[in-house]
């Protein structure tokens, strides 16, 4: 029986499997907490993007920050993807994983001169520039090394993506992008700078978006600008429509990538822009439902007010519930355990009341059971920290019956290796 919304995770007998691998076996081999990713689930999530864009000029740039494990990057590099990066560190990861720098777009509001130089020298496809001040500095850096940097301006279309305020980025009050009203002026400025070459236009309005209207509204606003910018004599080659497509964590019903892209293509066609090269920057929708975090139940602590189920994974391993009050599905890796299903708050060992993974969950648990936190492939390990001197979890990539350890568990010695007692 596969889990609804998780076709690559299913109960075989009574044991939850990732593809052909039992999570219990993986937990025994690699201990817990343990991130487990399904390679097939990632490729299956990429497929609707690729098929919707087949036959037209496009580039799918996987957003590295969603899950930056080298083996995950390699899966997408081998599938022909480019990458959306937000730091020099992510660029190094992409190169280490065999990614093509000519397929990399560099986003982010605070690129340093060193990062700009590093990315120009690596030969990235495009800088997504987020302010007029950044244009000036980027041009200076490019001139200083005798190069021209390809740029898109990230414009802020001021549309409400109707998602959590921490992950909406395309509204006027956000730090991201250049205001719609200033965009034309910014393009004119960019076109006069000696170190820049205008390549395209970019927008990214937020994350975990579950409706199509915000995308279509943003596209309309971007096309209005493209028309104005080209009328001013500056050709725009590609449109980068960002990432942000949501996934099902609980009962959300986001459009599929091919349905969304189908609508965007229709709109482009009806407005006479069908010829444009399209870039997308999906992160969460490619990896979110391809991963789980496996954790062991340490203690049960029932009480009059609340029942606490204390597990060995914590907010340092998976921050989304503490940071966004995000809901993540939690299932017992062994189906039909004999313990009665009570209502539990699933919490970790970290000394913070915000350290919970799930609240008021009805699940049958006993000490020693393994739980799988579902949909943990995106913004899980990539946001993990060492708070409370906890080493980061190990990561495993499953492909059919085979499981590779793609990052080993951190040791405590590694945590303080850079410190020096005086
Ligand atoms: C985070 C981010 C993405 C990816 O967003 P998802 O919601 O994971 O698809 C894409 N582009 C930019 C600029 C980002 O900051």
Cis? peptide before 268, omega within 30° of 0: no
Instruction: Provide CATH code, domain 2-38+288-415.
Output: 2.40.37.10
Give the C-alpha separation, 192 to 195, whole Å: 9
Give the C-alpha separation, 248 to 254, whole Å: 7
Give the C-alpha separation, 42 to 352, whole Å: 33
Rounded to the nearest angstrom, the distance between the alpha carbon of 233 and the centre of ligand 1 is 30
* Residue 213, φ and ψ in degrees, nearest 5: -55, -45
Rounded to the nearest angstrom, the distance between the alpha carbon of 396 and the centre of ligand 1 is 24
In this prediction, residue 167 carries a pLDDT of 64
The number of the ligand 1 atom at minimal distance from the alpha carbon of 379 is: 8
Kind plus residue range of the DSSP H or E element containing 265: helix 257-270
Contact 138, 198 (CB under 8 A): no
Q: Which residues contact 308 (CB under 8 A, 6 or more apart)?
A: 300, 301, 302, 344, 345, 347
Our mutation pick for probing the ligand 1 site, out of 46, 49, 59, 66, counting the most ligand atoms within 8 A of Cβ, is 66
Instruction: Flag whether the pTM goes above 0.85.
Output: yes
Give the C-alpha separation, 140 to 372, whole Å: 50
The number of the ligand 1 atom at minimal distance from the alpha carbon of 86 is: 15
Rounded to the nearest angstrom, the distance between the alpha carbon of 336 and the centre of ligand 1 is 38
Per DSSP, helices labelled H in 63-193 are 70-78, 88-96, 113-122, 132-144, 180-192
In this prediction, residue 353 carries a pLDDT of 86
Convert the pLDDT of each residue in 33-80 to its tens digit: 999 999 999 999 999 999 999 999 999 999 999 999 999 999 999 999
Give the C-alpha separation, 45 to 37, whole Å: 13
- Give nearest CA residue, ligand 1 atom 13: 107
Q: Which 8-state DSSP code applies to residue 351?
A: S
Q: Which two tokens stand for residue 215?
A: 């995308």
In this prediction, residue 339 carries a pLDDT of 75
| Domain boundaries of the chain, sorted by first residue | 2-38+288-415, 107-282
- What strands lie across the sheet with 6-12, from one edge to the other? 2-3, 6-12, 15-18, 21-22
Give the C-alpha separation, 159 to 326, whole Å: 23
The number of the ligand 1 atom at minimal distance from the alpha carbon of 154 is: 13
Rounded to the nearest angstrom, the distance between the alpha carbon of 360 and the centre of ligand 1 is 30
Rounded to the nearest angstrom, the distance between the alpha carbon of 281 and the centre of ligand 1 is 6
The number of the ligand 1 atom at minimal distance from the alpha carbon of 206 is: 7
Q: Which two tokens stand for residue 231?
A: 């009328």
Give the C-alpha separation, 56 to 276, whole Å: 9
* Residue recorded with tokens 């497509």: 245
The number of the ligand 1 atom at minimal distance from the alpha carbon of 288 is: 8
Convert the pLDDT of each residue in 390-410 to its tens digit: 999 999 999 999 999 999 999
Q: What angle do CA 27, 376, 168 make, to 5 degrees?
A: 165
Per-residue pLDDT of the chain (422 residues; tens, 9 = 90+): 778 889 999 999 999 999 999 999 999 999 999 999 999 999 999 999 999 999 999 999 999 999 999 999 999 999 999 999 999 999 999 999 999 999 999 999 999 999 999 999 999 999 999 999 999 999 999 999 999 999 999 999 888 777 776 666 666 667 788 999 999 999 999 999 999 999 999 999 999 999 999 999 999 999 999 999 999 999 999 999 999 999 999 999 999 999 999 999 999 999 999 999 999 999 999 999 999 999 999 999 998 899 999 999 999 999 999 999 999 999 999 987 677 789 999 999 998 889 999 999 999 999 999 999 999 999 999 999 999 999 999 999 999 999 999 999 999 999 999 999 98
Rounded to the nearest angstrom, the distance between the alpha carbon of 136 and the centre of ligand 1 is 25
In this prediction, residue 340 carries a pLDDT of 79
Pocket lined around ligand 1, Cβ cut-off 6 Å:
63, 65-66, 84, 86, 107, 204, 207, 242-245, 281-285, 378
* CA quadruple 46, 48, 54, 59: dihedral sign: negative
Rounded to the nearest angstrom, the distance between the alpha carbon of 241 and the centre of ligand 1 is 10
Give the C-alpha separation, 415 to 411, whole Å: 7
* Residue recorded with tokens 């990538």: 257
Fold assignment, 107-282:
TIM Barrel (3.20.20)
Contact 379, 324 (CB under 8 A): no
Give the C-alpha separation, 401 to 246, whole Å: 29
Contact 132, 111 (CB under 8 A): no
* Residue 323, φ and ψ in degrees, nearest 5: -80, -45
Q: Indicate the burial class of 48 (C-beta count within 10 angstroms; 0-12, 13-18, 19 or more).
A: middle
**Residues noted as catalytic:** 351
In this prediction, residue 110 carries a pLDDT of 96
The number of the ligand 1 atom at minimal distance from the alpha carbon of 66 is: 8
């Amino acid at each position: 029986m596969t889990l609804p919304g998780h076709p690559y995770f299913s109960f075989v007998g009574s044991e939850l499997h990732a593809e052909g691998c039992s999570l219990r076996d993986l937990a025994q081999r690699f201990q817990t907490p343990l991130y487990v990713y399904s390679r097939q689930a990632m490729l299956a999530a990429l497929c609707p993007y690729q098929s919707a864009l087949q036959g037209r000029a496009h580039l799918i740039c996987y957003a590295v920050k969603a899950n930056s494990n080298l083996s995950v990057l390699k899966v997408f590099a081998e599938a022909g993807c480019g990458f959306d990066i937000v730091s020099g560190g992510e660029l190094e990861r992409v190169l280490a994983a065999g990614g093509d720098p000519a397929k990399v777009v560099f986003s982010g509001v605070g690129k340093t001169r060193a990062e700009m130089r590093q990315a120009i020298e690596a030969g990235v496809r495009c800088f997504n520039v987020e302010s007029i001040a950044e244009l000036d500095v980027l041009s200076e850096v490019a001139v200083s090394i005798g190069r021209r940097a390809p740029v898109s301006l990230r414009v802020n279309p001021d549309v409400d993506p109707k998602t959590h305020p921490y992950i909406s980025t395309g509204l006027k009050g956000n730090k991201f992008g250049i205001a719609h009203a200033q965009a034309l002026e910014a393009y004119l400025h960019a076109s006069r700078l000696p170190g820049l070459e205008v390549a395209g236009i970019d927008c990214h309005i937020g994350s975990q978006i579950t409706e199509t209207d915000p995308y279509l509204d943003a596209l309309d606003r971007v096309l209005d600008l493209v028309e104005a910018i080209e009328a001013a004599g500056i050709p725009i080659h590609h449109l980068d429509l960002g990432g942000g497509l949501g996934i099902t964590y609980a009962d959300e019903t986001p459009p599929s990538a091919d349905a969304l892209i189908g609508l965007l293509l229709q709109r482009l066609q009806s407005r006479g822009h069908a010829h444009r090269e399209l870039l997308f920057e999906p992160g969460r929708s490619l990896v979110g439902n391809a991963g789980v975090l496996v954790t062991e139940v340490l203690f049960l602590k029932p009480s009059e007010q609340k029942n606490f189920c204390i597990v060995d994974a914590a907010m340092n391993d998976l921050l989304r519930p503490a940071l966004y009050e995000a809901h993540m599905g939690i299932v017992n890796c062994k189906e039909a355990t004999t313990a009665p299903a009570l209502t539990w708050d699933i919490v970790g060992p970290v000394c913070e009341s915000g350290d919970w993974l799930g609240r008021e969950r009805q699940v049958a648990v006993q000490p020693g059971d393994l739980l799988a936190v579902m949909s943990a492939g995106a913004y899980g390990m990539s946001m993990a920290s060492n708070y409370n001197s906890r080493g980061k979890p190990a990561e495993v990539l499953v492909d059919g019956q085979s499981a590779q350890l793609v990052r080993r568990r951190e040791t405590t010695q590694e945590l303080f290796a850079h410190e020096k007692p005086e």
